[in-house]
Each structure stands twice: as C-alpha cells, then as structure tokens.
Amino acid sequence: MMLIDDYNNLPKPNSEYEEKVITFCKLWLNGQESFILKTSGSTGEPKPISLSRKQMEASALLTGKTFGLKEQDLALVCLNVEYIAGIMMLVRGMVLKLKLLILPPSSNPLLNIENQKIDFAAFVPLQLQSILESDNKHLLITLNRMKAIIVGGAAVSQQLVEQTQELSVPAYSTYGMTETVSHIAIRRINGENTSQNFKVLSGVKIGIDERNCLNILSAASNFELVQTNDLVEIIAKDEFKLLGRFDNIINSGGVKIQLEKVENTVEVFLESLHINRFFAFGMADERLGQKLILVLESENLDDEIKRKLLEDIKNVSDTIYQIPKNIFTISTFSETPTGKIDKKATIKRLNL
C-alpha cells in the first residue's frame, strides 16, 4: 500500500507495481503530452492507443465535476495501472489534486485498509461483489463514508445491483472504454434513483449508426467520432439503454440470437445455485452453423441440476432458440489483465 499526498515529493516505491505508478506520475508531472495505452482485450486482441494529455485532462475534470470531488479528497486506486481505468485514477489525482491510496489489484481491496476515510473509489464488479459478500462489516462502513463509488470494466449483474441496495453511498455503473478515455456515461444502481439507462456526462454527444450501434463525440475523444459495436436504444439525446454487443449476436440455424439476452434470462436461476459468473457463447456446429451453449464458473454440476436448469430456462424464454444446447462448467474462468472474463481462452481450456 502506498499513499501519495504530495506530488512535489512522491513516495519511494516498495514494489515493481508501485514503481509503475511512480514512473507514470513522473512522466505526467514532467509535462509529457501523449501516452500509449493498451485496450483491455475483452472484445479482441489488445491494441495500443495513443491518448493526448488534453484528452485525459478533459476526462479527469469531467469526473471531478460529476462526482463533486475536491482538492485533498482521498481516492482509492485498486485497478491495474497498466490500463485505462487505473491510469485515469492516477490522472484524476494529479489534475484534481486528490490524495491517492495505491493498492495492487485484488479481489477484495478493502481488506487491507484500516482507518482510512476514502472519498472516491472505482471497482470492477467482482471486487465490489467480494466486498459486499465479506463477513467484515467494517468494509460496508468504509464504502458508506465515500462520496460515490463507480463500477466498470464489465457488466453489472442483477445480483450485484440487489446487493448494493444495502449501501447508502451512491453507486454507479459506468460506460466507457480506452478510446473514450474511461467513462462517458453512468447509471445509478442503488437507491431511489436507480435506472436501467445510462446518462451521458456533460458535453458528451451520442448517436447511432445503421446497425443501431452507439457512437460518441466528446472532449475526451478529442472531438473525434468513436464508433462502437454496442447495440443501444436511444432514450433521449443524453440517455441510452445498452442492449448488448453487435458481435455478440450468433446465427444458429438461420436465427439470430443476442447472447446478452440469453444471459439476462438465465441469471435469476443461477443465483440460487450461487453461481456468480457465467456466459453464453456460440460454438461452431456443422448443422446449425453456431449452437448456443452456456458456460458456468462452478465445480461440476450433476446432470439432474443441469436438466432442471435447462427446463427453467425453457419455461421463461421467448423462443426455443434462446435455450442453450449444452451447459459446461469450469472451476475458474480465464481473465484478461483487467479482470474481465476471457471467453475465448476459457472455451479453449474446455477442449470442446
């Protein structure tokens, strides 16, 4: 753990990870004008992207304005600083003059924190879920003393949304990517103002292409149009509902299936089995072209449980095409360096 509370006198790093933090901070403080960052690799091969100092400053200022962050507030940095989410926490600290508490990424970053009044934190869903499921109730006190918490990097499950209802601190799911220099839209996931729709931050403009995929224009994108593969429904000029990814549509026997819709259907049944992570996938099939399967992060389930699960899914599915042809289990999913599920690597390990 490392505390940065004086940018004119940076602390001495005590690990390789802390060395990366200090190296970036020095480059920023010395006025470097551009930085090369890698995309997370969750939707394809990781690729390098050049971001300007101006873009990163614009993003940091917008976050500060959105969440009411003030000079000397303490922000927790527990996301990988080799990628946009962690890097932007460092940039926010330097631009907004926040104090930063640096921790290497872990499943429950609050376990190692004592007597710290943290004002702002960003988590991936697995981290927040681990905190909320901990028996240590002091962790909830730590969360509830914050101004806001944001959760990004992966979809927020309905189970996690329900767990956040015990929090008084405002919790937000974020939408963004490396190309947009972190989040450009948020939705409240707890309290009275809970919403299924994302509201874009001030100054961000959105639209759709012919596929109904979102495009984005903002100061953080250097006012260049960023075209995504995310299918959305535009609710208003500053509001949208995320439906899934265009490249997560499979064609099974001539029928198009949106994988996220399948996942939303099965989630409620998996909660009772205490299975938190899973994904739908389209496997190559000689007869159908692609067949729908369900992959669960779990020890082996017996055949009767799988049969009952498929029957439950069948009873609530809109069509028979949304019913998985097979269910596979694996004890732990492969992950990208940012903690997202690496579906292709997981499938490869299953030797299907």
pLDDT tens by residue, 125-154: 999 999 999 999 899 999 999 999 999 988
Quick check: 83 and 338 in contact, CB under 8 A? yes
Q: Cα dihedral sign for 133, 138, 142, 144?
A: positive
Cα 46 to Cα 43, 83, 338, distances in angstroms = 8, 11, 11
pLDDT tens by residue, 169-224: 999 999 999 999 999 999 999 999 999 999 999 999 999 999 999 999 999 999 99
Q: How far is CA 74 from the centre of its chain?
A: 22
CA dihedral 79, 23, 66, 131 (to 10 degrees): 20
Tokens of 310: 């498929």
Does the structural domain 253-350 have CATH classification 3.10.200.10?
Answer: no
Would you say the CATH fold of 253-350 matches that of 2-245? no
- What residue type is 3 in one-letter code? L
Element (DSSP H or E) covering residue 60: helix 53-67
- A 10 A CB-CB count for 261 gives 16
User: Per-residue pLDDT for the chain (352 aa), expressed as one digit of tens each?
Assistant: 999 999 999 999 999 999 999 999 999 999 999 999 988 665 556 789 999 999 999 999 999 999 999 999 999 999 999 999 999 999 999 999 999 999 999 999 999 887 789 999 999 999 999 999 999 989 999 999 999 999 998 889 888 999 999 999 999 999 999 999 999 999 999 999 999 999 999 999 999 999 999 999 999 999 999 999 999 999 999 999 999 999 899 999 888 999 999 999 999 999 889 898 999 999 998 888 999 999 999 988 889 999 999 999 999 888 888 899 999 999 999 998 888 899 999 999 998 7
Say how far apart CA 56 and CA 59 lie, in whole Å.
Answer: 5
Tokens of 225: 């149009």
Per DSSP, which regions of the chain are E strands? 2-4, 34-38, 48-52, 74-77, 99-102, 120-123, 148-151, 171-177, 182-188, 198-200, 205-208, 213-217, 226-236, 239-245, 249-252, 255-258, 278-285, 289-297, 326-330
Does the structural domain 2-245 have CATH classification 3.40.50.12780?
Answer: yes
Structural domain spans, the chain: 2-245, 253-350
Give the burial class of 342: count Cβ atoms within 10 A of its Cβ; 0-12 exposed, 13-18 middle, 19 or more buried: middle
Beta bridge partners of 162: none
Query: For residue 55, which of 80, 87, 79 has the smallest C-alpha distance?
Result: 87
Say how far apart CA 314 and CA 204 lie, in whole Å.
Answer: 41
% of the chain beyond a pLDDT of 70: 98
